[in-house]
Structure 1
Amino acid sequence: MLSLNPDLIILQDGGAAAKVYDDIAKIAPTIVLSYGDGNSKDVLGQLRDIGDVVGKKQEAEDWISKYNAKVTKYRDQIGKVIGPDKTFSIVELWAKQTVVYGKNFGRGGYNLYEALKLSPPKAVKQTCWIRMKAF
């Protein structure tokens, strides 16, 4: 990582961050973002934090305002096609397993389940992801 000469390092808090933080912080200023657990901020909260750290707080807020306007527009359009009683899945197929993702594991989960208000299947509503056998 030293050869990359970063100006800022952003770590995902998953337990390992605490173990390596002191060493990593010697390379460059380092922040830790919680992700995928009950204590983490949503992606917009994380964007605000990063904007604040890099001195672009207003740019972050401007981006969020534009994002929210688009979300409102598309939520209304999608709502006309997918009724509130329907569920929506984010699925990743692998050779030996299938993974179904919830709202806090990337893959667009926040955008689909939180912003656009699409309903995840009941089994993934309270979790990040579920592994299943492949088809």
Structure 2
Amino acid sequence: MKKLRLSFLLLVALVLSACGATADQGTSGDSSSDTKTESETITYESENGPVEVPADPQRVVVLSTFAGNVLALDVPVVGVDSWSKMNPRYELEGVEEVTDENLEKIIELDPDLIIGLSTMKNVDKLKEIAPVVTFTYGKLDYLTQHLEIGKLLNKEEEAQNWIDDFKERAAAAGEDIKAKIGEDATVTVIENFDKELYVFGDNWARGTEILYQEMKLNMPEKVKETALEPGYYTLSLEVLPEFVGDYLIVSKAEEKESSFMETETFKNIPAVKNGNTYVVDSKEFYFNDPITLDFQLEFFMDSFLGE
């Protein structure tokens, strides 16, 4: 009888132990399920075909142009290109500056997604580090580009909401500005870079997308003839007055040569003489992402509508 009772107790112990193991496994299963959720992927249809990317990326390296788009969607960035790094409008404290040739540095950053342009180097090697998605600059218009990055980051709805809101705000601002400066007033955007002067069309950042596409402000005919299709046009100081409309936006880097603004040729341009010239920091105007566009829109509203 004692042996039978002992056997029964051992059997109960084994059953309880098994139940405990099952419970532990259930808890462990829940944990692995959570881990799986965190590491889930989606398939993004890139211009080069489908790419499996994180559904919730947490360590993104942006090797050119699109850092502001990623930041605007509240996705963590761990590495950016030099142009983005020097933009004072981006929150990039602690973010490393990298290039498509800094493979070891990128490995150390342990990215879960790499974004860049189709022209960048070492794409195959970068793919060994993390999923890589590239875009051809200018293939998409600037708002569709943001939407695509929203799709890539699994934040399409957020991207679309910003686009809808931005277009509404910019159109309203354009109506107010035209009411003040006149329906026929023209605006020119120029920049000095590497001792050259450039005038811009309607899709080469520097605020041109807002001024011409969203606000529907007018471009001088000379600019339309030379810069609209290619995006920009190089010109000399001597012919600059022929390109400047009623209003002038000068994108200027503080450390770059800007003595042209001290010349009589520049000072005698009607837009300059009439006080219709607005100077911007080129570092803040290089891009056309939501962070930059919101800043540009605010600047134009203050400049054109301010008393």
Once the two structures are superposed, residues 25-72 of structure 1 have per-residue CA deviations (whole angstroms, 9 ceiling, x without a partner) of 223222222223xxx111110111111111111111111121122012
Q: In 2, Cα distance between the equivalents of 1:81 and 1:60?
A: 32
Unaligned ranges ≥5, structure 1: none
The letter of the residue matching 1:12 is L
2:127 paired residue among 8, 25, 30: 25
Deviation at 1:84, TM superposition (A): 4.3
Once the two structures are superposed, residues 68-100 of structure 1 have per-residue CA deviations (whole angstroms, 9 ceiling, x without a partner) of 220121111122134443332211124621111
The letter of the residue matching 2:147 is R
Task: Tell which structure's C-alpha radius of gyration is larger.
Answer: 2
Q: Would the alpha carbon gap of residues 75 and 101 (structure 1) be closer, same or farther in structure 2, given more than 3 Å must change?
A: same
The letter of the residue matching 1:96 is K
Q: In 2, Cα distance between the equivalents of 1:61 and 1:95?
A: 37
Name the residue aligned to 1:79. Answer: 178
Q: In 1, Cα distance between the equivalents of 2:232 and 2:195?
A: 16
Aligned length: 129
Bigger relative contact order (CA 8 A; separation at least 6): 1
CA RMSD for the aligned pairs? 2.2
Unaligned ranges ≥5, structure 2: 1-101, 238-259, 261-307
Name the residue aligned to 1:130. Answer: 233
Residues 1:11 and 2:113 are matched in the alignment: no
Q: In 2, Cα distance between the equivalents of 1:77 and 1:55?
A: 36
Give the 3-state SS of the residue equivalent to 1:89 in structure 2. Answer: strand
**TM-score, normalised with respect to structure 2:** 0.38
**TM-score, normalised with respect to structure 1:** 0.79
Q: Report if the CA contact (8 A) 2:203-2:209 is conserved.
A: yes
Deviation at 1:114, TM superposition (A): 1.2
Q: Higher helix proportion, which one?
A: 2
User: For 1:1-135, what aligned pairs fall within 5 Å after superposition?
Assistant: 1=102, 2=106, 3-13=108-118, 16-17=119-120, 20-36=122-138, 40-94=139-193, 96-120=195-219, 121-122=223-224, 123-134=226-237, 135=260
Q: Which moved more, 1:55-64 or 1:82-91?
A: 82-91
The letter of the residue matching 1:6 is P
Q: Report if the CA contact (8 A) 1:96-1:133 is conserved.
A: no
Q: In 1, Cα distance between the equivalents of 2:148 and 2:154?
A: 10
Give the 3-state SS of the residue equivalent to 1:81 in structure 2. Answer: helix
Q: Report if the CA contact (8 A) 1:102-1:127 is conserved.
A: yes
Deviation at 1:6, TM superposition (A): 3.0
Q: Would the alpha carbon gap of residues 93 and 20 (structure 1) be closer, same or farther in structure 2, given more than 3 Å must change?
A: same
Q: Would the alpha carbon gap of residues 95 and 47 (structure 1) be closer, same or farther in structure 2, given more than 3 Å must change?
A: closer
Q: Would the alpha carbon gap of residues 21 and 93 (structure 1) be closer, same or farther in structure 2, given more than 3 Å must change?
A: same
Give the 3-state SS of the residue equivalent to 1:105 in structure 2. Answer: coil
The letter of the residue matching 1:29 is P
Q: Which moved more, 1:1-10 or 1:54-63?
A: 1-10
Identity of aligned residues (%): 32
